[in-house]
Amino acid sequence: MTPTPIRFYQVGSFAVGNRLLEEELRTVQSDPRRANSLDRGHRACQGCGEALGARYALDAAVRATGGDLVAINATGCLEVFSTPFPESSWRVPWLHSLFGNTPAVASGVAAALRVKGRSNVRVVAQAGDGGTVDIGFGALSGMFERNDDVLFICYDNEAYMNTGVQRSGATPPAARTATTEAVGPEPGNPFGQGKDLPRIALAHGIGYVATATVADLHDLEAKVIKAMARHGARYLHVLVPCPLGWGSQSRDTIRLARLAAESGLFPVFEAEDGIVTSVRKIRHKVPVEDYLVLQRRFAHLFKPERRDEVIAHLQALADENITRYGLVAPEEVEV
């Protein structure tokens, strides 16, 4: 018998904390002194993935910067539910911008801090997928091009949820939204449209691009902390399920994010200086159907009759991701 190294069971590194793990190896979220950047009492819907993702990301950024941090926030759900005047849920310095100019405002704040000799204070900009991939896209591309010292975080819930679930450039094919109804021969959002912003960011040649989900906290926090250790333009794209817009159970928010990653539909990777340096491997591969069937925005793929060709098309997209990023280790064979 070969000696077995003692590792951290029962929950290894998947749960938020672990009483058997040394404190520095636990997540920021497991720390009772975490910043709680987004405080209780905000008005997000039950089970909001964006509220969760924003607290995860900003609490990690606060730890990474020792609290010397300012957050710029685009118009959108995150801004609306956190700051109905005069209340605020934010426990970090926070600025609200227009829907489309967040990257420009963040660039300006970074420039102002530099001019004032306060470059120790770091800038994080955050927006939903609409504010990032559509309305704010021009400003964001400029911010990337100039390599301004900003970490831009997109909380991607795959549609304009705040204004009533309209399609965005991040809405997946076949999904029903208020503007892509589940009618006609090709119901829902058409295939072949939309923007893959992490890859667009990568094409700008900026120093750090990564994706993450609210289902893997260790991974998300590590990426924020790594990003905050660097300077220049950085981009983090976080998948945040939306029970309202996706038509899912509020309790399934994390489960859906996990299934998106485990099916391959949402590839989780990290790129430094233009090169993909690591991918989060799929642990238990699942068919896309497991992910789709929990969401009413895809209900027309199953009722009144199954649309096998559409499900197969979505599966093909997931398989493409798996191949492109190497999400399944080739040596992954049952031993």
Partner 1 sequence: MQPPYAITLDVGSSRANKTGAWRVERPVYVDRLPPCNDACPAGENIQRWLYHAEAGDYEAAWRQLVDDNPLPAIMGRICYHPCESACNRAELDEAVGINAVERFLGDHAIARGWRFDPPPAETGRRVLVVGSGPSGLSAAYHLRRRGHAVTLVDQAEELGGMMRYGIPAYRLPRDVLDDEIERILALGVEVVTGRRIDDLAAEKEAGAYDAVYLAVGAQIGRRTEIPAGDSARILDALSLLHQVAAGDPPLLGRRVAVYGGGNTAMDAARTLRRLGATDAVVVYRRTPKEMPAHADELADALHEGVQARWLTTVKSFEGGRLVLEKVRLEGRDVVPTGEFEELPADALVLALGQDSDLSLVEKAAGVAVEHGAVSVDDAMETGAMGIFAGGDVVPGERTATVAVGHAKHAARAIDAFLRGETLAPPPRHPLATFDRLNTWYYTDADRQRRPELETARRRSTFDEVVGPLREDNALFEARRCLSCGNCFECDNCYGVCPDNAVDKLDLAASAAAGRHYAFDYDYCKGCGICVAECPCGAIDLVPEVI
Of 23, 24, 52, 74, the one binding partner 1 (CB under 8 A) is 52
Question: Within 13 A of 232's CA, how many CA atoms are on the CB side?
Answer: 13
- The answer to the question of residue 134 lying near partner 1 (CB under 8 A) is no
Of 23, 24, 40, 305, the one binding partner 1 (CB under 8 A) is 40
- The answer to the question of residue 120 lying near partner 1 (CB under 8 A) is no
60 and 224 in contact (C-beta within 8 Å)? Answer: yes
235 and 212 in contact (C-beta within 8 Å)? Answer: no
166 CB burial (10 A radius; 0-12, 13-18, 19+): middle
Of 3, 66, 117, 184, the one binding partner 1 (CB under 8 A) is 3
If you write DSSP's letter for every residue of 247-289 in order, what string do you get?
T--GGGHHHHHHHHHHHTSS--EEEETTEEEEE---SS---HH
Closest CA relative to residue 124, chosen from 99, 94, 97: 94
Closest CA relative to residue 171, chosen from 76, 265, 258: 265
Nearer to partner 1, 91 or 231 (CB): 91
Q: How far apart are CA 38 and CA 49, in angstroms?
A: 13
- The answer to the question of residue 278 lying near partner 1 (CB under 8 A) is no
**Measured distance between the N- and C-terminal CA atoms of the chain, rounded to whole angstroms:** 17
Of 118, 251, 296, 306, the one binding partner 1 (CB under 8 A) is 251
With contacts defined by CB under 8 A, name the span among 143-151, 160-168, 252-260, 307-315 that binds partner 1: 252-260
- The answer to the question of residue 27 lying near partner 1 (CB under 8 A) is yes
- The answer to the question of residue 285 lying near partner 1 (CB under 8 A) is no
Nearer to partner 1, 180 or 295 (CB): 295
CB of 319 to partner 1, least distance (A): 22
Q: How far apart are CA 111 and CA 80, in angstroms?
A: 27
How far is residue 40 CA from its own chain's centroid? 21
Closest CA relative to residue 88, chosen from 42, 144, 54, 26: 42
- The answer to the question of residue 217 lying near partner 1 (CB under 8 A) is yes
Of 22, 23, 30, 153, the one binding partner 1 (CB under 8 A) is 30
With contacts defined by CB under 8 A, name the span among 130-138, 142-150, 247-255, 294-302 that binds partner 1: 247-255
Of 67, 80, 88, 286, the one binding partner 1 (CB under 8 A) is 88
- The answer to the question of residue 193 lying near partner 1 (CB under 8 A) is no
CB of 129 to partner 1, least distance (A): 18
Nearer to partner 1, 18 or 107 (CB): 18
With contacts defined by CB under 8 A, name the span among 25-33, 134-142, 171-179, 265-273 that binds partner 1: 25-33
- The answer to the question of residue 250 lying near partner 1 (CB under 8 A) is yes
AA identity, residue 107: S
With contacts defined by CB under 8 A, name the span among 82-90, 118-126, 228-236, 301-309 that binds partner 1: 82-90
Nearer to partner 1, 49 or 136 (CB): 49
Q: Report DSSP state, residue 239.
A: E
Q: How far apart are CA 331 and CA 212, in angstroms?
A: 24
How many residues of this chain interact with partner 1, rule: CB under 8 A?
56
Q: How far apart are CA 330 and CA 158, in angstroms?
A: 31
325 and 281 in contact (C-beta within 8 Å)? Answer: no
Residues within the interface to partner 1 (CB under 8 A): 1, 3-4, 6-20, 26-27, 29-30, 32, 36, 38-44, 46-49, 51-52, 55, 82, 84-89, 217, 243, 249-255, 258, 284
